[in-house]
């Protein structure tokens, strides 16, 4: 038995050596004839969008289900930052774990940039509006002014006057109402980590949360 083991090990070494030599030979031959510049990514942006992103977020970034955010017109900085967070497993809300951790696992920086560019340049959609104008008005007040007495900052500071977003702070305008509502409740419960958002949502009452969500839906 022992003899056999040694023999197979020997065989393996020889085999490995042969493969290595062959690989070297191929590599040499190859570098001499290289014409196409190496592409570091497995998939170009369009292929990624077609084969992966579009399955949930829609071909043009307008998802059908509010489980998945609308990405059309989203700021490229935000998409990039989030994809990098997913890749690092730094964002651990349940749906991020279930879907985006796996998807983003092997993305290169170039791919992330490409995808962010693609979705940010798709035409944005307009919010669905509110069925309760009184509630939306209340939300507008809070959205624009915050509540300084309770240490609640105005949403406009980070998300812009009409929800257009600033740098890596996401665009909210046109987003699925339910998606926004779910995110707010996840920030509040600490399921989605963000110090500012957690602080703000914890200070807000349930009614205030509902009002802001309702107003954001009109943007």
> In angstroms, rounded to a whole number, what is the distance separating the alpha carbons of residues 4 and 52?
49
- What are the C-alpha distances in Å from 35 to residues 38, 42, 110, 162? 9, 18, 21, 49
Q: Going by C-beta distance under 8 Å and a sequence separation of 6 or more, which residues neighbour residue 103?
A: 52, 86
Q: Does 46 bind other proteins (CB under 8 A)?
A: yes
Q: Does 48 bind other proteins (CB under 8 A)?
A: yes
Q: Does 39 bind other proteins (CB under 8 A)?
A: yes
Question: Which one of 13-21, 57-65, 163-171, 196-204 is the stretch in contact with other proteins (CB under 8 A)?
Answer: 57-65
Cβ pair 166, 159 in contact under 8 A: yes
Q: Which of residues 79-98 bind other proteins (CB under 8 A)?
A: 98
Q: How far is the CB of 112 from other proteins (least distance, A)?
A: 11
Question: Which one of 52-60, 159-167, 188-196, 206-214 is the stretch in contact with other proteins (CB under 8 A)?
Answer: 52-60
Q: How far is the CB of 199 from other proteins (least distance, A)?
A: 23
Q: Which is nearer to other proteins, 52 or 154 (by Cβ)?
A: 52
Q: Does 121 bind other proteins (CB under 8 A)?
A: no
Q: Which is nearer to other proteins, 105 or 150 (by Cβ)?
A: 105
Q: Does 182 bind other proteins (CB under 8 A)?
A: yes
The dihedral built from the CA positions of residue 139, 157, 104 and 90, taken in this order, carries a sign that is: negative
Among 7, 8, 92, 108, which residue interacts with other proteins (rule: CB under 8 A)?
108
Q: Please give the DSSP secondary-structure letter assigned to residue 171.
A: P
Residue 56, CA atoms < 13 Å, CB-side half-sphere: 13
Q: Residue 205, exposed/middle/buried by CB under 10 A (0-12, 13-18, 19+)?
A: exposed
Q: Which of residues 59-78 bind other proteins (CB under 8 A)?
A: 59, 64-67
Count of Cβ atoms closer than 10 Å to residue 99 Cβ:
15
> In angstroms, rounded to a whole number, what is the distance separating the alpha carbons of residues 96 and 171?
19
Q: Does 19 bind other proteins (CB under 8 A)?
A: no
Using CB under 8 A, list all residues that contact other proteins.
30, 34, 36-40, 42-43, 46, 48, 50-52, 54-56, 59, 64-67, 98, 102-108, 111, 178, 182
């Amino acid at each position: 038995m022992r003899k056999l083991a040694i023999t197979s090990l020997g065989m393996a070494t020889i085999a490995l050596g042969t493969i290595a030599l062959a690989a070297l030979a191929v590599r040499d031959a190859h570098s001499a004839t290289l014409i196409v510049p190496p592409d570091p990514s497995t998939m170009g942006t369009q292929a990624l969008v077609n084969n992966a992103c579009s399955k949930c977020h829609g071909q043009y970034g307008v998802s059908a289900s509010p489980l998945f955010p609308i990405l059309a017109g989203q700021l490229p900085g935000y998409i990039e930052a989030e994809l990098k967070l997913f890749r690092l497993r730094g964002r651990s809300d349940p749906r991020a774990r279930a879907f985006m951790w796996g998807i983003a696992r092997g993305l290169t920086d170039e791919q992330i940039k490409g995808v962010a560019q693609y979705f940010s340049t798709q035409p944005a959609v307009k919010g669905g509006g509110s069925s309760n104008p009184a509630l939306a008005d209340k939300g507008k007040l809070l959205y624009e002014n915050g509540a300084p007495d309770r240490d609640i900052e105005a949403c406009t500071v980070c998300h812009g006057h009409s929800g257009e977003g600033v740098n890596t702070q996401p665009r909210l305008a046109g987003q699925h109402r339910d998606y926004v509502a779910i995110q707010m409740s996840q920030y509040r419960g600490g399921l989605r980590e963000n110090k500012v958002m957690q602080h703000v949502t914890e200070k807000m009452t349930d009614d205030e949360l509902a009002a802001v969500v309702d107003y954001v839906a009109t943007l």
